[in-house]
């Protein structure tokens, strides 16, 4: 490795975001490169959850009128600036899968003339395609895939109603040109639902600037809301109140406590609510979103790119000599991860690193995926992680039998 530890430490001394690391609970001896799967815990989360537990104990059901019930809208407004949205355009609710279903139904119901095709990207995160297929299975719509990396315009015609696409691809880390793609879809008379799972909290997103009308995402990755923390849904104000969304739960009703026999949708973003949410997990997420209010997203993006380049530079020679392919895109077209491929030993390498306290993740087929989260990673962490990677590969440590055993979650 040509880059010294001293150089990494110097970068830390110059880092304007370095103070954020102290605001997270990080296990001793762990270098965490899996924040693109599950973010680590903000220190404020524990106190927020404990406060809610006390409120539950003391106030019982009265807690719903003391901040629990309106949390989906309140947290949505907190999050809106992170994705270039206005107040009352973002709702924290359910998960990506359910939110895509809602938006497909809402768009196709309100779209005139009716179009019969839902189009999603082959190779995208499976849930996006699965839920589109499920929607089509129980309706008159047809689902189609377009090949990953292909020219989307070749698959757009007057039959396509909705396109579903990830802003940052979960495997390769490729960052899509949101503005150009959105314009192409709109020019063909269709709508696009952007999946922001790997971009919200990882880089600056500006939905309004890019003329986006619909988007979804999650809060348990870069936004550190906690395991199973809710997803979010964005609908541009100009496209609200045009019809029904298909998951017409009671919290999305215009008057949920009137207990009317028939459904009538609430006004605005609230109609995309469904049923009762968890006050506990919402309190954890709210603590994290309060922290995010202070973050300079341009500084965050700069650090992200510097960290990914530092890691790649440190491991480049080892990758070359051990037949491990680096498929990470160039910086301007990259999310906040490094993606490496080796179908024979990739899984075992990741397990050996985890045993050393360097936590990344593995995705079939053969993907070693390392997420770089600027708020709680230091440059020294990145340098040390790269050193461990090189040691594991060059020594053959990954060949040990215990690193070949697969658990349910990789």
- Residue 112's φ and ψ, nearest 5 degrees, are -130, 135
CB-based contact 199:335 (threshold 8 Å) = yes
Strand, coil or helix: 158: coil
**Beta strand pairing status for 191-195 and 214-218?**
parallel
- How many angstroms separate the CA atoms of 284 and 229, rounded? 8
- Helix orientation angle between 379-395 and 346-355, rounded to the nearest 10 degrees: 120
- For residue 79, what are the CA distances in angstroms to 169, 254, 307, 312? 22, 24, 25, 32
CB-based contact 8:379 (threshold 8 Å) = yes
State the catalytic residues: 125, 195, 220-221, 369
- Torsion, Cα 301 305 311 313, to 10 degrees, reads -170
- How many angstroms separate the CA atoms of 287 and 42, rounded? 8
Query: DSSP secondary structure string, 193-256?
Result: EEE-TTTBTTB---TTTTT--EEEEESSSTT---TT--EEEEE-GGGSSSS--S---GGGBSSG
Exposed / middle / buried, residue 397 (Cβ in 10 Å: 0-12, 13-18, 19+): middle
Query: DSSP secondary structure string, 98-116?
Result: HHHHHHHHHHHHH-SS---
CA-closest candidate to residue 179, choices 79, 303, 84, 308: 84
């Amino acid at each position: 490795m040509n880059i010294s530890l001293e150089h990494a430490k110097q970068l830390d001394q110059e880092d304007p975001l370095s103070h954020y690391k102290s605001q997270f609970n990080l296990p001793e001896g762990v270098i965490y490169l899996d924040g693109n799967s599950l973010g680590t815990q903000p220190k404020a989360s524990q106190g927020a959850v404990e406060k809610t537990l006390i409120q539950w104990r003391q106030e019982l059901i009265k807690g719903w009128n003391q901040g629990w019930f309106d949390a989906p809208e309140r947290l949505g407004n907190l999050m809106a600036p992170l994705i270039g949205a206005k107040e009352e355009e973002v709702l924290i609710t359910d998960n990506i899968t359910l939110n895509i279903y809602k938006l497909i139904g809402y768009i196709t119901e309100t779209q005139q003339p009716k179009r019969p095709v839902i189009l999603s990207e082959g190779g995208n995160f499976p849930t996006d395609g699965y839920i589109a297929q499920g929607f089509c299975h129980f309706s008159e719509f047809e689902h189609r895939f377009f090949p990953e990396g292909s020219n989307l315009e070749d698959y757009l015609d007057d039959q396509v109603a909705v396109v579903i696409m990830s802003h940052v691809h979960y495997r390769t880390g490729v960052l899509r040109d949101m503005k150009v793609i959105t314009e192409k879809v709109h020019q063909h008379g269709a709508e696009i639902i952007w999946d922001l799972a790997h971009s919200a909290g990882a880089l600056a997103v500006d939905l309004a600037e890019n003329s986006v009308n619909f988007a979804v995402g999650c809060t348990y990755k870069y936004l550190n809301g906690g395991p199973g923390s809710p997803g979010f849904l964005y609908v541009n104000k100009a496209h609200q109140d045009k019809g029904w969304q298909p998951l017409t739960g009671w919290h999305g009703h215009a008057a949920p406590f009137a207990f009317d026999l028939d459904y009538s949708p609430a006004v605005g973003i609230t109609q995309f609510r469904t049923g009762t949410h968890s006050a506990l997990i919402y309190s954890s997420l709210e603590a994290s979103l309060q922290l995010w209010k202070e973050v300079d997203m341009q500084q965050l993006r700069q650090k992200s790119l510097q960290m990914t380049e530092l890691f790649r530079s440190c491991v480049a020679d080892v990758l070359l000599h051990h037949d491990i392919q680096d498929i990470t895109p160039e910086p301007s077209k990259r999310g906040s991860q490094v993606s490496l491929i080796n179908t024979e030993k990739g899984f075992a390498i990741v397990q050996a690193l985890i045993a050393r306290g360097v936590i990344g993740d593995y995705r079939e087929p053969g993907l070693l995926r390392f997420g770089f989260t600027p708020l709680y990673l230091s440059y020294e962490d990145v340098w040390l992680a790269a050193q461990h990677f090189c040691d594991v590969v060059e020594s053959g440590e990954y060949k040990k039998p215990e690193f070949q055993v697969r658990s349910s979650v990789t």
